[in-house]
A and B are shown apart, each in its own frame.
Chain A
Amino acid sequence: MNKALQLKKRGSMKRENTERVVLGTLFLFVPLAFLIVFSYYPAVRLFQLSFSDWDGLSNNFHYVGFDNYKSVARDETVMHAFRNTLAYVAMMFVQLAIALYVAVVLDSKIRAKNFFRSVIALPFILNGAAVVYLFTLLYDYQASPINFLLQKIGLDPIHFLPNSYALNLSLAFMGLWKGLGLGVIIFLGSLQSIPRDLYEAAEIDGASYFQAIRYISIPNITRIIELQLFLGITGSLQAYGESLITFPTGGPGGIADTLMTRTLSIAFKYSQFGRAAAMGVMLMILILLVVGVQRMLLRRNEASE
């Protein structure tokens, strides 16, 4: 090859690279700026505040070491809120199971598939607060249309919001109803990306429908199940809207408090932003731990298969 031509080509390649770098930086600038300003900076401040006694208003604060962490760990209302939050985690597993079931059904050859898909996905696009209001109407002992129907057919009306732990399951169910659609869509998307010929081959080999699901569908979407678990656990540990709107005071004796609503009231009601920040950090560590354990378990499974 001609040397001059080679040089020219290298020069143009160089120019191309510079252009690419400049272009990439330009495009990245906006999202990175947002990420730093709205995610990383607040996270760093959260750590800083968790060691302080800031009251949310004053211009200055004092560092108090690990006092906030100690007081949160000793606070029985926080433990109560944690137990309540576990109801949301439990409900999340139920939601995943239902979502997987619905996705498998919608993936098969049934009539009016698109109609069912849209109907199931619909709640997800509703405003979260509106969903909670809707459910408080349904859960109203006297005004609930469900209880009205039950009484019409001669049954006893239900206390949807009992004065017991089960109350948290009622609240978590609101999240299930709203979030189901997204779970179904994600599962359905991954199910449809499985090559059809796998199923055809299995059919020829005489595999039943359930065997096909067990040995083809599920193994092919473990990654997606893992993702859903990750999203579900982080989401349910941070549940707060259902509880906050239904029971603004946390309910009698904090019966409806979740970790998040407890954090919110410690910060904004009692002006203990330092303690609330410590709770935020502890929640973050908890989520990291859970996700870590989950990854380890799933990885081991994958290795053994």
Chain B
Amino acid sequence: MRKTASTIAALTLLGGLLAACSNDKNNASGSPSASEASDPSSAASASNSEPKLSGKIVFATNRTDKADSTIRDLADEFEKLHPGTSVEIEGITDGNTLKTRAAANELPDVGIPIPDLPLEKMPDYYLPQDDLGFSADTISFYDYNKVDGKVYGIPISAGYQGIVYNKKAFAEAGITTAPKTLDEMLADSEKLKEKGIIALATSYKDGWPVGYYTATLPMEMAGDPDWYGKLADSDTLYNEDNYSIAVLDFLTQMNDKGYLEPDLMSANWENQKRLHAQGKLAMAYLGTWYPSQLADNGANIEDIGMFPFPGIKTISGGPDGSLFISKNTENPDLAKAFVKYCIENGRFAIATGSIPSDKNAQPPAYVTELLSSGLPVITSSPTSSKIQDIINKGNINMTGNLQEYIVSKKDKQAGLIAKWNKQFQDAKK
């Protein structure tokens, strides 16, 4: 009796396993046949000449925080405007999964691009979008994804780098105008310190927020979009000419004078946002994406302003995400209409609390304030493989180096620079 029962149990187990396998097979073979079946219908709707849109598209977004709320609302409105269409939203937490899907020709119809995709490879996976009626005059950074004269991805929002400050904290310390030079910044920091306010946030422990000081700030100071790539041709990684040492020394000074967080080793991102929103912390060198997070932490968005880092020649800016349309989409017209809908008037950007790329849409006040400085905006060039190879080969950790430098004693710092430059030179061999 018992034996029969266990035999049945084992067979069920095996049966379940096999069933799972066969299900997978059905799915795998099912999707291409389904697409074949729907292909003629989409071809038919395209030949109808007038865009009576229909069908279904999948929209992949990395803004998983808003995927079920404001982005869903946006898609619902679009569906209402075009009855018979359906937009499915897929939140992508790990962009690298798109690489596998691209290899299987299963990219989502519309959405964020495959990470680290070189420009020249874009036509292999995506449709050109020049026929959407946008141009460099209406969209910021329109040419960013241009290959052979065709645009493959239209920026959905724009981003600029600068110092985000809390106006209340500045007012409390009696600061009326934003600092224009590094000396003014030090003087203002002293005023803030006297009021018990942390002048500049680093979120030192978490690392990535100080990462902006290793590549973005020197680039802004040099005014050269190729700043990072040109390191590959330089003899030293850290030197006076490329502003890298100037940045390290400035942060060291800020730390020595007590203008940064009181305990750097535990200074973290979550706490920074909270303190910054409350005005217990005044400044942070980050992007235009940051103020909306302060608002999420309870700050009044009117109290948040931005100004360029003192003494820089150019402001770093660029597209903050672009929308791409898969080459294999079954409903290219619908996909294009949806992209156009998202970008026009900055609908998607506003829904996700970012800066519209459509120049007709009104950007938030802090962006206007930052750009009112009149400094030219430059977009950093795509990372060249040459410098990346050197960084990889030498295991060079510029953020970790910065962390080590600014807490080290003066007499040790020169030795560190020499050590890192040697590491760099060894990697170049």
Q: What residues of B have a CB within 8 angstroms of the CB of A139 in the complex?
A: 266
Q: Which of B42-50, B152-160, B186-194, B205-213 contacts A (4 or more CB under 8 A)?
A: B205-213
| Chain B CB within 8 A of A272 CB | yes
Interface residue total, chain B, C-beta cutoff 8 A:
32
From A159, A167, A249, give the contact of B397 (CB < 8 A).
A249
Contact with B along A244-287 (1 / 0, CB 8 A): 00111111111000000000011001111000000000000000
Are A167 and B261 closer than 8 Å at their CB atoms? no
| Chain B CB within 8 A of A39 CB | no
From B266, B268, B397, B407, give the contact of A160 (CB < 8 A).
B266
Known A143-B271, A248-B206, A270-B392; contact A23-B265, beta-carbon cutoff 8 A: no
Are B17 and A247 closer than 8 Å at their CB atoms? no
Q: What residues of B have a CB within 8 angstroms of the CB of A211 in the complex?
A: none
Are A252 and B404 closer than 8 Å at their CB atoms? yes
Are B6 and A141 closer than 8 Å at their CB atoms? no
| Chain B CB within 8 A of A101 CB | no
The residue among A162, A247, A252, A271 with the most chain B CB atoms within 10 A of its own CB is A252
Q: Which of A25-33, A104-112, A224-232 contacts B (4 or more CB under 8 A)?
A: A25-33
Are A248 and B207 closer than 8 Å at their CB atoms? yes
Are A27 and B10 closer than 8 Å at their CB atoms? yes
Are B263 and A142 closer than 8 Å at their CB atoms? yes
Residue of A nearest to B264 (CB): A163
From B3, B263, B407, give the contact of A252 (CB < 8 A).
B407
Residue of A nearest to B265 (CB): A161
The residue among B3, B6, B266 with the most chain A CB atoms within 10 A of its own CB is B266
| Chain B CB within 8 A of A77 CB | yes
Q: What residues of B have a CB within 8 angstroms of the CB of A270 in the complex?
A: 391-393, 395
CB distance from B225 to the nearest CB of A (A): 24
Q: What residues of A have a CB within 8 angstroms of the CB of B268 in the complex?
A: 136, 140
Are A23 and B10 closer than 8 Å at their CB atoms? yes
Known A141-B266, A270-B391; contact A29-B397, beta-carbon cutoff 8 A: no
Known A249-B403, A250-B397, A252-B404; contact A26-B11, beta-carbon cutoff 8 A: yes
From A144, A248, A266, give the contact of B395 (CB < 8 A).
A266
CB distance from B407 to the nearest CB of A (A): 6
B-contacting residues of A (Cβ < 8 Å)? 19, 23, 26-27, 29-30, 75, 77, 136, 139-144, 159-163, 167, 246-254, 265-266, 269-272
From B6, B205, B261, give the contact of A161 (CB < 8 A).
B205
Contact with A along B232-273 (1 / 0, CB 8 A): 000000000000000000000000000001111111100100
Known A23-B7, A30-B17, A142-B271; contact A253-B266, beta-carbon cutoff 8 A: no
Residue of B nearest to A16 (CB): B3
Q: What residues of B have a CB within 8 angstroms of the CB of A272 in the complex?
A: 392-393, 395
Q: What residues of B have a CB within 8 angstroms of the CB of A252 in the complex?
A: 400, 403-404, 407
In whole angstroms, how far apart are the Cα atoms of A266 and B394 in the complex? Answer: 10
From A26, A141, A251, A254, give the contact of B263 (CB < 8 A).
A141
In whole angstroms, how far apart are the Cα atoms of A270 and B407 in the complex? Answer: 25
| Chain A CB within 8 A of B19 CB | no
Q: What residues of A have a CB within 8 angstroms of the CB of B14 in the complex?
A: 26, 29-30
